Amino acid sequence: MELELGLALPGGDLIAELGLASEKRTSTCRKRGFDDMFYGATSPPLFVHKDGDDDDGDDDDSRFNHLQELNLGSRVLVGWPPVRVSRRKGEEGGKRRVNCVKVNMEGVAIGRKVDLSLHDSYQALFLTLSQMFPKKQHDGEESDAAFYKVTYEDEDGDWMLVGDVPWEAFIQSVKRLKILN
């Protein structure tokens, strides 16, 4: 279906008028070709991240595929869709009580904090951690989250390997996390 859509001003190049740096856009009235890189055959189920640069990476395949994997029904996107908490099914008592724990990676100065109440499984947690602490191998690809060794300090002060106990038990007792290199 061809769309003939014209919303431009009668004359003149608006971009030039506004004094903005020009690039390839010479007309404000055009059918924009679509960057197949992003949408290809199937739309990503929930989450698409757009690169900030104008020369959008044709090389950005790997990054995009990684991000596609991120969406497996776990709540990685905070606050989306923009629906008040009182309308969300299955979240008793309105606002979720946050459960933030500190995360440090061996050898990295700056720590992060992760809100465990936004995750419902170890898989979801590892995905978030891999976003926070991306591991770069020499070819620039990000490594599989499963290769992380993550330990946690439990309520008794002992350091345990993450993943051994059921998720519900884990989130009750975890005090903080440490990722081993």
Partner 1 sequence: MTYFPEEVVEHIFDFVGSHRDRNTVSTVCKAWYQVERLSRRTVFVGNCYAIGPERVMARFPGIKSLSVKGKPHFADFNLVPYDWGGFALPWIVAAARLCPGLEELRLKRMVVTDDGLELLARSFPNFKSLVLISCEGFSTDGLATIATYCRGLRELDLQENEVEDHGCQWLSFFPDSCTSLVSLNFGCLKGEVNGGALERLVARCPNLRSLKLSPAVSVESLNKILARASHLVDLGTGSFAVDHRTDVYHMLMNSFPKFKSLRNLSGFWDASPCCLRAVYPVCTSLTVLNLSYAPAIQGDDLIKIICLCFKLQKLWVLDSIGDKGLAVVASTCKELQELRVFPCDIYGAGTTSVTEEGLLAVSSGCPKLNSLLYFCYQMTNAALITIAKNCPHFTRFRLCILDPGKPDPVTDQPLDEGFGAIVRSCKNLRRLSLSGRLTDQVFLYIGMYAERLEMLSIAFAGDSDKGMIYVLNGCKNLRKLEIRDCPFGDIALLKNVAKYETMRSLWMSSCDITLGGCKALAAKMPRLNVEIINENEETYEFEENLSDLHKLEKIYVYRTVAGPRNDAPDFVWTL
Answer yes or no whether residue 146 interacts with partner 1 by CB under 8 A.
Answer: no
Query: Is residue 98 within 8 Å of 91, Cβ to Cβ?
Result: no
Task: Using the minimum distance from each CB to partner 1, give the nearer residue, 59 or 156.
Answer: 59
Instruction: Write down the H helix ranges in the chain.
Output: 14-17, 36-39, 61-70, 122-132, 167-173
Q: State the minimum distance, in angstroms, from the CB of residue 44 to partner 1.
A: 8
Answer yes or no whether residue 88 interacts with partner 1 by CB under 8 A.
Answer: yes
Answer yes or no whether residue 72 interacts with partner 1 by CB under 8 A.
Answer: no
DSSP collapsed to 3 states, 10-51: CCCCHHHHCCCCCCCCCCCCCCCCCCHHHHCCCCCCCCCCCC
Answer yes or no whether residue 50 interacts with partner 1 by CB under 8 A.
Answer: yes
Q: Pick one of 12, 16, 26, 39: the residue that binds partner 1 (CB under 8 A).
A: 39
Cis before 81 (ω within 30):
yes
Answer yes or no whether residue 10 interacts with partner 1 by CB under 8 A.
Answer: no
Which one of 50-58, 134-142, 150-158, 165-173 is the stretch in contact with partner 1 (CB under 8 A)? 50-58
Nearest to 144 by CA among 49, 75, 62: 62
Rounded to whole angstroms, how far apart are CA atoms 151 and 177?
Answer: 6
Interface residue list for partner 1 (CB under 8 A): 1, 3, 5, 7, 9, 14, 18, 20, 28, 31-32, 34, 38-39, 43-54, 56, 73, 77-89, 93-96, 98, 100, 102, 109-113, 132
